[in-house]
């Protein structure tokens, strides 16, 4: 992160987005970077995994790594066990939402269907305490252009009753990602924001694949992402 405006004071961050947008990678990477800060607005930090629809690439799969870094992880009743998965949340999932001293990053389910899970926790998502972000990957067919991206974000807002405040450019092609792909996503995000009045919160880039210097024409916030959620078998 290279810009102070990237740091939000609101206690709860909800990360939404289409399947394959990279929202889980963003949530995990952001939590790991917050865990390294010496001075924090909130003494405790947690990730809440509300993705009980998609059985792949869930933030609770990195529970060991996150909790070693001091990030408490909440999610499904089976925690990291994916061979016994049920679409049911653990009973303690409200604890960080009620803890005023805990910064919470919520990894919401993919698209508007997955985001419906947010509705049962609506009382915690006050405008004073909550910021909602939408991850946009313009390399995905479902969000291939500005028009389809607008429809996607509006569907999430409609089903949750929440307002997406900002968008995150995470246009990528996994290990085929290049600077040009990211820059194209940035331009499309700018047009998206021009048409909707929303804010481009940051541009993401995979730091193992793309150097920050290749994105020097971007004057806003840059967020380097790890590849925490990509299992090695995908590259074989």
Rounded Cα distance between 9 and 24, Å, is 21
Answer yes or no: are the C-beta atoms of 230 and 196 closer than 8 Å.
no
Rounded Cα distance between 35 and 29, Å, is 10
Task: State how beta strands 166-169 and 199-206 pair.
Answer: parallel
- Joined tokens for residue 49: 């995994």
What SS3 state is found at 80?
coil
Length of the chain in terms of residues written = 236
| C-alpha dihedral (111, 112, 114, 118), degrees to nearest 10 | 130
DSSP letter string over 137-149?
-TTSGGGSSHHHH
- Joined tokens for residue 113: 């269907």
| Structure confidence at residue 56 (pLDDT) | 46
Identify which of 204, 147, 139 has the alpha carbon closest to the alpha carbon of residue 170: 204
| Structure confidence at residue 61 (pLDDT) | 65
Rounded Cα distance between 9 and 221, Å, is 16
- Section 137-164 average pLDDT: 95
- Per-residue pLDDT tens for 3-44? 444 456 899 999 999 888 888 899 999 999 999 988 888 999
- For the chain, list the domains and their CATH numbers: 4-235 (3.40.50.300)
pTM of the model: 0.86
- Per-residue pLDDT tens for 80-131? 545 444 455 677 889 999 999 999 999 997 777 778 889 999 999 999 999 9
């Amino acid at each position: 992160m290279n810009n102070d405006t990237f740091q939000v004071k609101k206690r709860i961050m909800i990360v939404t987005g289409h399947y394959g947008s990279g929202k889980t990678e963003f949530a995990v990477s952001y939590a790991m970077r917050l865990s390294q800060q010496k001075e924090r607005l909130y003494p405790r930090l947690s990730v809440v995994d509300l993705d009980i629809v998609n059985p792949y690439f869930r933030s609770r799969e990195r529970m060991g790594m996150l909790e070693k870094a001091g990030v408490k992880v909440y999610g499904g009743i089976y925690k990291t066990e994916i061979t016994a998965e049920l679409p049911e949340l653990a009973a303690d999932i409200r604890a960080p939402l009620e803890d005023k001293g805990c910064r919470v990053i919520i990894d919401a389910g993919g698209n508007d269907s997955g985001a419906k899970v947010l509705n049962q926790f609506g009382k915690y998502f006050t405008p004073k305490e909550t910021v909602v972000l939408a991850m946009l990957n313009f390399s995905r067919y479902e969000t291939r252009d500005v028009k389809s991206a607008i429809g996607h974000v509006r569907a999430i807002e409609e089903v949750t009753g929440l307002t997406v405040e900002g968008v995150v450019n995470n246009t990528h092609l996994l290990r085929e990602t290049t600077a040009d792909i990211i820059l194209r996503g940035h331009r499309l995000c700018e047009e998206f924001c021009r048409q909707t009045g929303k804010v481009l919160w940051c541009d993401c880039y995979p730091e193992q694949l793309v150097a920050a210097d290749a994105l020097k024409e971007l004057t806003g916030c840059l967020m380097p992402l790890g590849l925490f959620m990509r299992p090695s078998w995908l590259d074989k």
